[in-house]
């Protein structure tokens, strides 16, 4: 049977978080808006991720939607853990301060959103965090990086506008 989760094109997001002690980020593909009013999104994070417990402590998180030239940051965020590596301190990373939350955002991203956790639920082997979006900033000059079937893509040819 084909792997069900590989059939979905995913955004490539860095979820950022800051607690009293540290700042960290991780790569997330399982993320989506779920409500317009109030504006709420979800991110699905496995309990073993260092970021998981940091979000529980902080009660808030940032979402940086990576631009199509930021694949290296996705690899850094998704293949190393904040338990072992100070990811925000790496040379290729530039972080900028958040305004409504303590977590920073990632410079050069397509967009960044600042979220306050409204609830979280265990769903199978992940925890789904619902975050109320309290600030959204978009850089319209950039396009988003996409992951499909384990391959990163820049968006391709336009096929018409959604009615």
Ligand X SMILES: Cc1cc2nc3c(=O)[nH]c(=O)nc-3n(C[C@H](O)[C@H](O)[C@H](O)COP(=O)(O)O)c2cc1C
| Contact footprint for ligand X (CB under 6 A) | 12, 24, 26-30, 44-46, 49-51, 74, 77-83, 147
Q: Which residue is nearest to ligand X (CB)?
A: 78
Q: Which is nearer to ligand X, 111 or 145 (CB)?
A: 145
| CA distance linking residue 102 with residue 61, whole number of Å | 8
Least distance in Å: CB of 125 to ligand X? 9
Least distance in Å: CB of 21 to ligand X? 14
Closest by CA to 44, choosing from 57, 58, 26, is 26
Q: Which is nearer to ligand X, 80 or 90 (CB)?
A: 80
CB under 8 Å to 157, separation ≥6 — which residues? Answer: none
Q: Which is nearer to ligand X, 66 or 101 (CB)?
A: 66
The residues that bridge with 43 in the sheet, in sequence order, are 31, 129
Least distance in Å: CB of 2 to ligand X? 18
Cis peptide before 34 (omega within 30 of 0): no
Closest by CA to 39, choosing from 143, 130, 128, is 130
Structure-token match 């979905």, residue found: 8
Least distance in Å: CB of 115 to ligand X? 15
Q: Which is nearer to ligand X, 77 or 98 (CB)?
A: 77
């Amino acid at each position: 049977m084909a792997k069900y989760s590989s059939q979905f094109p995913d955004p490539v997001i860095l979820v950022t978080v800051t607690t009293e002690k540290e700042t960290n980020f991780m790569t997330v593909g399982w993320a989506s808006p779920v409500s317009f009013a109030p504006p709420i999104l979800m991110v699905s994070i496995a309990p073993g991720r260092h970021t998981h417990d940091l979000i529980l402590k902080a009660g808030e998180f940032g979402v940086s939607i990576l631009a199509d030239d930021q694949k290296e940051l996705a690899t850094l965020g998704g293949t190393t853990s904040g338990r072992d590596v100070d990811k925000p301190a790496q040379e290729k990373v530039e972080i900028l301060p958040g305004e409504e939350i303590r977590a920073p955002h990632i410079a050069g991203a397509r967009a960044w959103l600042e979220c306050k956790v409204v609830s979280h639920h265990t769903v199978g082997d992940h925890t789904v965090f619902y975050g109320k979006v309290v600030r959204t900033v978009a850089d319209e000059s950039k396009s988003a990086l996409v992951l499909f079937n384990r391959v990163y893509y820049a968006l391709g040819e336009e096929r018409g506008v959604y009615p």
